[in-house]
Structure 1
């Protein structure tokens, strides 16, 4: 895994780094284990003026890759989806979660799209459970857009000094934000 991580980072200096980002963001949404942030961060630090273009490319490729994950879940869950989820250690949880997934509406996609939870698990689950495609696409755009544009904005504004925070703690901040958001909705619902 460390070798794959280092290889992904090395792509940031490649002349075709933007294409590498497209491939990594696309595949991460359906089966690849390394998040595109690892490629985005050094790319943005090297070229801050392109921060938002890089974020936009990552978002678009990630959402399109998410559609591939959705298709895997909808059309080939047993042959492809289940083995991917089992390789991630999420096979049993997926079966248990299946019965409640669509009852939660857009929340699973929003949460997985913004937090360190593997987005590919949710894209496959969305197709497998028959989540409405429109809901999946809109929520994916919002979640992945927020995640990538916040990272781009922080790097554009603060540069390399914020890198450590993003790599180590931004996932925790996003997770805390989602928890507070959910708590707020629950509080409003019960008042």
Structure 2
């Protein structure tokens, strides 16, 4: 049934990918990767255009997935996706929502899991959009660039593209988020003494007036 749907969407070319990618962020159980690859294989010269179409459609669909999570809840995830995918994403999100979205952009777990979960947990929509813009760009354009430059020979390369991206990009993201967290803690540490000084200063002024 899924293959029949992919074959049907493939007949519509870039529009089929747009529709698939849009729903990939909302409810489609199969990632857009599985349509982007055969379309890029059929038309390597259009691979970058297809990557752009898929990328923009995914970003347009992201707020809708977020709203589903916000108003319906993540129970819908268990109805449309594998329990193991949802459980893995939930654990990742509970540890660090930012890392979950970024890392989730590269994993085989459908991206809708993270858009819906972001809504369930009231994660800021603007942050979801920002992280989705980065993560999904990598996912779509790596495939597009490989087909654009290597033609149909890239088919073998993209089979494990998610694994390669995960191995290379995730450690970089983890380091970035770790440094960001340390910077925020250091900034908060500097702000706290300043707040205490500002809180004490008015009291001293009151004492001076009473004298």
Partner of 1:123: 115
- Alignment TM-score, normalising by the size of structure 2: 0.74
2:172 aligns with one of 181, 184, 191: 181
Quote the offset at 1:131 in angstroms.
Answer: 1.0
Structure 2 match to 1:66 = 62
CA apart distance, 1:182: 4.7
Does residue 1:100 correspond to 2:98, yes or no?
A: no
- Rate the CA distance shift 1:144–1:183 in 2: closer, same or farther, 3 A: closer
Name which of 32, 39, 44 aligns with 1:36.
32
Give 2:197's aligned residue: none
CA separation of 1:29 and 1:92: change in aligned 2, threshold 3 A = closer
User: Aligned ranges for residues 2-21 of structure 1 at < 5 Å?
Assistant: 3-12=1-10, 14=11, 16-21=12-17
What does residue range 15-164 of structure 1 map to in structure 2 within 5 Å?
Answer: 16-77=12-73, 81-88=74-81, 89=83, 93=87, 97=91, 100=94, 104-164=96-156
Q: Partners in 1 of 2:168 and 2:85 — Cα distance? A: 27
Structure 1 stretches lacking a partner, 5+ long: none
Residue ranges of structure 2 left out of the alignment (5+ in a row): 183-211
Aligned length: 180
Quote the offset at 1:185 in angstroms.
4.5
CA distance, structure 2, for counterparts of residue 134 and residue 124 of structure 1: 14
Q: 1:176 to 1:58 in 2, by over 3 A?
A: same
Residues of 1 paired with 2:93 and 2:127: CA distance? 18
Label 1:25 to 1:107 Cα distance change in 2 as closer, same or farther (>3 A). same
* Cα distance in 2 between the residues matched to 1:62 and 1:93: 23
Q: Give deviations 1:80-131, integer Å, cap 9, x for gaps.
A: x313235421597379649835xx2522111111221221111111111111
Contact 2:105 2:136 in 1 (8 A): yes
